[in-house]
Amino acid sequence: MVDKDLIEGKFDIIERNLDFIRDNYSDIGPEDLENSYKDYQALKFSLFEMIEACIDIANHIISSERLRRAESYADMFKVLGESKVIPKDLAERLSLMARFRNLLIHRYETLDSNRIVEIVRDHLTDIEMFMEEIRRSYLME
First to last CA, the chain: 14
**CATH for 134:** 1.20.120.580
From CA 86, how far away is CA 77, in angstroms rounded? 8
Domain of 104 in residue numbering reads as 4-139
Threshold 0.85, pTM exceeds: yes
What total number of domains does the chain contain?
1
pLDDT at 108 > cutoff 70? no
- Give CA–CA dist 64/138, Å, rounded: 11
For residue range 61-107, list pLDDT tens digits in order. Answer: 999 999 999 999 999 999 999 999 999 999 999 999 999 998 888 76
Task: Quick: pLDDT tens for 51-71.
Answer: 999 999 999 999 999 999 999
Q: Is the dihedral of CA 132, 58, 8, 22 positive or negative?
A: negative
